[in-house]
Amino acid sequence: MIDSIYLIIRYDFMKKRKKYILIAASWFTVLLCWQFFSLYIGNKDIFPSAFQLITAVFYLFSEASFLSAVSSTLLRGICGMLLSLCLAAILAWRASRSDAFRTYIHPFLTLLRSVPIISFLFLFLIWFSPEYIPLVMALITIVPVLTENLIAGFRNIDHSLLEMSYMYTFSVKQKIKHIIYPAVSPYLFSGLISTAGLGWKAIIMGEALAQPVTGIGVMIREAHGFIEVPRLLAWTLIAVVISYGFELLLKRAEKYNFPVSFASKDYAEKIMENFPDILNIEGIRKRYGHKILLSELRLSVSRGKITCLMASSGYGKTTLLRLLSGLDHAEAGDVPLKKDCKVAFLFQEYRLLPHLTVCENIALSRASCMRKETARKEIIEILEQLDMRNCIDRFPETLSGGECQRVVLARMMFFPASLYLLDEPFKGLDFDLKQKVMDYLRKWQVRYGKTILYVTHQDDETRIADKIVRIQ
């Protein structure tokens, strides 16, 4: 075991060392070529040597105007990036929700991408104050590309996860951090990284021609006016370093995933037990195309009992659960549940967040009112009963179908609710494991007096029910 770890560490070290050696060799080649051409031209005022260039760079740090120029350009760049991000996010969110709006803005985005930057720049020199031109140049450069990327990102959001978050009462902050951001971030950072260099170029070009009070572009223009080639190249190198550093920061930020935020202490949760003694369901109708579902259904669900609805596929079992949960609305009849009745839903699909561990997936719904240690202890107790103790820190992609099914069962049990709706809760489990899970579900229901309605089409999955309703 120790030998294996040593070999892995040694391999990783050798791989990184090779990478750094190649980067150093690349820079050395650039300097060598630069020195060769300097010697070949033979005029250091026109083409300075590598040593002169490095000396000029260090000399810039001693200039009084260095900090003000760099900070001004950095401020314009950051402001331009943030304003572009906000504007692009607003446009993209609206366009992702409306095909008409997306069609409407497409010509404008195409126009901004197609027109040469220099054309806009000369127009802006007439229209705007010199201080605002670099910022406007950043906007027209970044916004079109970033908007298109974010539209694709927002359309990539898994709405089934949003439904799951609604059922388990995620806060807006949790939805953004754990559902929206992971779906959008690949497109967001792809757009930011691809436009970062263009944005910095546009800002510096705007500074060079508009001539605001100070900035890297102003310094480049000034060096050009005095034919100070080493100084001009030194400022150009500073601009390249800033752009490259900004790109590295974006690449590092791209790898970041928000952790689950737990409460600093345990808070007493108010469990709303507003489920009636008997819930009578009848007269509910839902249409899908030309097919009418549930029109003949008569079902009663008793508080503190397990009710099983058994019917063949296509009858509308899942539709009934979605109506009871509030995810869908009936065309006729009312769902006689109080608005403050908290409902937990076990979907047929797993709907697990891939970037969170098993423990985090289960704990997320109650993280705002529990300490991490408390939540983990309760989750371990549930997982042990489901024969999943060793999977608590694994990610969903490493689990089998049966393991994922037990994880979503654990998530449902961990969530305090008045009514538990289970859609085919034992699918993907072999016979022995199914019996074990069913026994624990029954034990858990009796212990806490939970009200459960589950649907199935398997005869062997009905034995734990207090009441079975069969529909042919």
Predicted pLDDT at 59: 83
**Which DSSP helix (H) or strand (E) runs through 4?**
helix 2-41
Q: pLDDT tens for residues 96-124?
A: 988 899 999 988 888 888 888 888 788 88
Burial category of 16 from C-beta neighbours within 10 Å (exposed 0-12, middle 13-18, buried 19 and up): exposed
pTM of the model: 0.81
Partners of 286 in the β-ladder: 293
Instruction: State the pLDDT at residue 162.
Output: 93
- What distance in Å separates the CA atoms of residue 84 and residue 138, rounded to the nearest whole number? 8
Classify domain 278-362+395-471 at the CATH class level: alpha beta
pLDDT of res. 346: 93
- H helices of 44-116, in order, are 50-60, 66-97, 99-114
Predicted pLDDT of residue 274 = 63
Instruction: Give the residue from 457, 131, 451, 165 showing the smallest Cα distance to 305.
Output: 451
* Whether 218 contacts 69, CB under 8 Å: yes
Domain extents for the chain?
1-34, 43-254, 278-362+395-471
43-254: CATH superfamily: MetI-like (1.10.3720.10)
* Residues lower than pLDDT 50 in the chain: 1
